[in-house]
Amino acid sequence: MMRKPLLFAAAAVTALLATACGNVSSSSGAGGGETPPGITADQITIGATLPITGTAAVSGQGLQAGIEIAVDEINANGGIGGRKVTAVILDDGFTPDRVVTNVRRLVSQENVYAIVAPAGSQGLPGTWQFLAESKTPMWGPISPADPKQAEVYLLSATRAAQGAVAIDYFAKKGAKRLAVIKQDNDLGVSAKQALDAQLPKHPDMQLVADETTATGSTEVSSAVNKVVAAKPDAVLLAEDNTSTALILKQLRAQGFTGMVFADQGAGGTGGPSTVGPAGEAAEGFLGGMQADTVSTDNPAVEHWRELAKKSGKLQAESGFSLQTYSFVQAFGELVKRMGDDVSYANFQKTAEGLKSDPIKLGSIPDIECGPLPDGHTCARQAGIAKYTGGKWVVEQEFMAPI
């Protein structure tokens, strides 16, 4: 499959982010005639909650770097329609309760206009009701399931969609016996959704092992032993980065040479915190691609890589950084398209109109949100990369599950 042509390179990115969207209208409120919080004639404030410390710190640092690199670039080129962007980023330590607390603080105390590129697939669902009450948009949360809610816009394939693409890939490669190791949390729920959706489409494929591990536990030996005993051709993982690394090492130590896949958020292409600890066991590991690989020659990625290197930020050159950088770019383009009306009603209207006129960045799948109930999953495609010789190489371009 040929890579989609890049629709605009660095110069065009700068141009779209600097395009004027006018002054704030006094009648452009969230429904009550008042201007939404976090936006003035010369400033727009966005917020995110990220696991900057804790077991997912490497991922969180990359996610933070991507947001900051994009904001720095936008502001250096005049802001979004003349509005400089301020990003308030809070650390949740990879703790679901703190994710919820942080989102409430961002809206109620920091008065952000929107939550942009937050992480925490286990904690973010606990914020859905609060977002509905406040009408605050959440643009590009990292990997939760789609709540089919007006305020929430997913800009990358869900974990379930990535798992479905992986199952299709396994089938294409001739795998007949599939094993799954999943955590007893939302990661595991997503894996089950992928299995339920895709296994009926591959009648020659049999689920020979379906093991569950405890969230936060490093005890994966029992699950690995049972999987190896079942003699699968391929293994689908729905685990956090630390557990994924442990499982990889134990699978390879027991002589398993088959295909092993994990989605981008749980140990795939974004996370050196998986392939680093896994060492030699990571060779041949398959990872989900919600964004292009950082080692590609895609001009959009090359532009981001140059900015990332210059930034000197922790994990700035990781796949997670590329992902959030792209999400903030897309946010800038959406606000530009909104024109003078910055109301939340127009945010939803403009976003749902992307189905007919997608945002095309080149570094991530096209963003083509549509109306609810299903249209806020704005990117249905995922890719697959293989860890080879110390770097990620594209194994399968972006595509949707069959």
**pLDDT for the residue 183:** 96
pTM for this structure? 0.80
CA of residue 88 relative to chain centroid, distance: 19
pLDDT recorded at residue 1: 38
As a whole number of angstroms, the distance between CA 222 and CA 216 comes to 15
Q: Which of 44, 8, 19, 15 is nearest to 339 (CA)?
A: 19
Q: Pick from 289, 246, 245, 297: which is nearest to 270 by CA?
A: 289
Residue 382's alpha-carbon distances to 3, 352, 378, in angstroms, are: 13, 21, 12
Predicted local confidence at residue 122, as pLDDT: 84
CB 364 within 8 A of CB 323: yes
| pLDDT tens-digit profile, the chain (402 residues) | 334 333 333 334 343 333 333 333 333 444 444 689 999 999 999 999 999 999 889 889 999 999 999 999 999 999 998 999 999 999 999 999 999 999 999 999 999 999 999 998 889 999 999 999 999 999 999 888 899 999 999 998 889 999 999 999 999 999 999 999 999 988 899 999 999 999 999 999 999 999 999 988 899 999 999 999 999 999 999 998 889 999 999 999 999 999 999 998 777 787 677 899 999 999 999 999 999 988 888 999 999 999 999 999 999 998 889 999 999 999 999 999 999 999 999 999 999 999 999 999 999 999 999 999 999 999 989 999 999 999 989 999 999 999
| pLDDT score for 34 | 66
Residue 145 has a pLDDT of 83
Measured CA to CA, the distance from residue 106 to residue 141 in angstroms comes to 15
Q: Which of 131, 30, 114 is nearest to 80 (CA)?
A: 114
Q: Which two tokens stand for residue 42?
A: 């010369």
Of 161, 157, 158, 175, give the one whose Cα is nearest residue 235: 175
* Angle CA 152–215–184, to nearest 5: 70
| Antiparallel, parallel or unpaired: β 152-153 and 114-116 | unpaired
Separation of alpha carbons 362 and 317, rounded Å: 17
